[in-house]
Amino acid sequence: MGGRRKVTVVGAGNVGATCAQELARRDYADVVVVDIKEGLPQGKALDVNQAAAVLGYEATVTGSNGYEESSGSEVVVITAGLPRQPGMSRDDLVTTNEKIVTSVTEQVLAASPDAILVVVSNPLDAMCHVAKDVSGWAKERVFGMAGILDTARFSTFIAWETGMSIKDVTAMVLGGHGDQMVPVVSATTVGGIPLRKLVAEARIQAMVERTAKGGGELVNLLGTSAWYAPGAAAAQMVDAIVLDEQRVLPCTAYLEGEYGIDGLYMGVPVVLGAGGIERIVELDLDESEQAALRASADAVRDVVGVLNS
């Protein structure tokens, strides 16, 4: 694999494969895709490698059923686990995916002891706890992708509602990934203009509601979870880490007193760079946002409570 940097994506399903494809196109690292299903990671890797002839990147993508090829990865993205089926609650996923994420984390630990872990598997907040507990790694090196995706969905609806460019929307969504997420409307702008100056409160609340149920809306339409936006969101986090971009992005981070929450993974804005989470950014929230965040924390604690560990 030459002297290129290495990123591993565990799980060759739709989200993992999309993430791997986005990373290959960015061309700063070789990509390893690991999946237990024989033929699947090899086939997806072959397909993405053949696209390089058309799109013009040099990254090599390797598919594997084991972790040997992944050894020495700088970042490992964990997408492995069962996706949500229609009508299935996130809690139904907890026990099954806990076993999968435990096994994956143990194998990543052995192959890439210096890696940074980006968890994408659902229920996201609970799986971050699993990965942290199993690895024993510092909280800066184990965190989850949820806020970028939720923010992307919120931003999309805002761009459509205002008729303004998606490039000028700056949104912020905090809290657990799911119905309990907390869009911070006070910190959401289009071209620097506060959202509330552009859109009536009732329309904002409708967009907030649609964002919170965003994953479910896609499951109902597709019969399976989304993958283009989640895969791209995970790749954006890898960019920030490997390229040391110091991006301010909402991520699922382990809080120890920030926002008045202790010992829990929650979605908050962080500075993401080569060390992983370089710092947690504390926004000034109004009373209703603080109350919503506390409610979100309670909901996340309930799901984490289902874990066997």
**CATH code (residue 206):** 3.90.110.10
Distance CA 211, CA 147 (A): 11
- pTM of the model as a whole: 0.96
Q: Which of 144, 174, 190 lies at the terminal end of a domain, its last residue? A: 144
Residue 281 confidence (pLDDT) above 60: yes
Residue 309 confidence (pLDDT) above 70: no
Does 177 participate in catalysis according to the annotation? yes
Residue 68 burial class via C-beta count within 10 angstroms: exposed 0-12, middle 13-18, buried 19 and up: exposed
Check whether residue 227 and residue 278 sit in a common domain.
yes
Quick one: average pLDDT of 122-137? 96
Check whether residue 108 and residue 55 sit in a common domain.
yes
Check whether residue 151 and residue 297 sit in a common domain.
yes
The active-site residue, picked from 177, 212, 231, 249, is 177
* Phi, psi values for residue 142, rounded to 5°: -135, 110
* Domain extent at residue 93: 5-144
Check whether residue 51 and residue 134 sit in a common domain.
yes
Check whether residue 293 and residue 219 sit in a common domain.
yes
Check whether residue 185 and residue 85 sit in a common domain.
no
Residue 2 confidence (pLDDT) above 60: no
Residue 90 confidence (pLDDT) above 70: no
pLDDT tens for 44-84 read 999 999 999 999 999 999 999 999 999 999 999 999 998 76
Check whether residue 37 and residue 115 sit in a common domain.
yes
Residue 306 confidence (pLDDT) above 60: yes
Q: Which of 90, 111, 144 lies at the terminal end of a domain, its last residue? A: 144
Check whether residue 137 and residue 168 sit in a common domain.
no
Residue 309 domain flag: no
In this structure, the strands spanning 173-174 and 182-183 are antiparallel
Residue 163 domain flag: yes
Residue 218 confidence (pLDDT) above 80: yes
Check whether residue 121 and residue 75 sit in a common domain.
yes
Check whether residue 216 and residue 131 sit in a common domain.
no
Residue 232 domain flag: yes
List Cα–Cα distances, 131 to 100, 183, 238, in angstroms.
10, 26, 17
pLDDT tens for 154-210 read 999 999 999 999 999 999 999 998 788 899 999 999 999 999 999 999 999 999 999
Q: Which of 144, 167, 185 lies at the terminal end of a domain, its last residue? A: 144
Quick one: average pLDDT of 215-234? 94
Check whether residue 151 and residue 300 sit in a common domain.
yes
Q: How many distinct helices (H) and strands (E) make up the chain?
A: 10, 14
Amino acid at 147: G
Residue 46 domain flag: yes
Residue 190 burial class via C-beta count within 10 angstroms: exposed 0-12, middle 13-18, buried 19 and up: buried
Residue 40 domain flag: yes
Percentage, residues of the chain above pLDDT 70:
97
Decide: helix, strand or coil at residue 176.
coil
Number of structural domains the chain divides into: 2
Is the CB of residue 261 less than 8 Å from the CB of residue 140? no
pLDDT tens for 235-272 read 999 999 999 999 999 999 999 999 999 999 999 999 99
Residue 92 is predicted with a pLDDT of 73
Residue 276 confidence (pLDDT) above 80: yes
CATH number at residue 15: 3.40.50.720
Residue 194 is predicted with a pLDDT of 98
Check whether residue 158 and residue 282 sit in a common domain.
yes
What are the structure tokens assigned to 255, written together?
A: 């809080």
Distance CA 215, CA 237 (A): 19
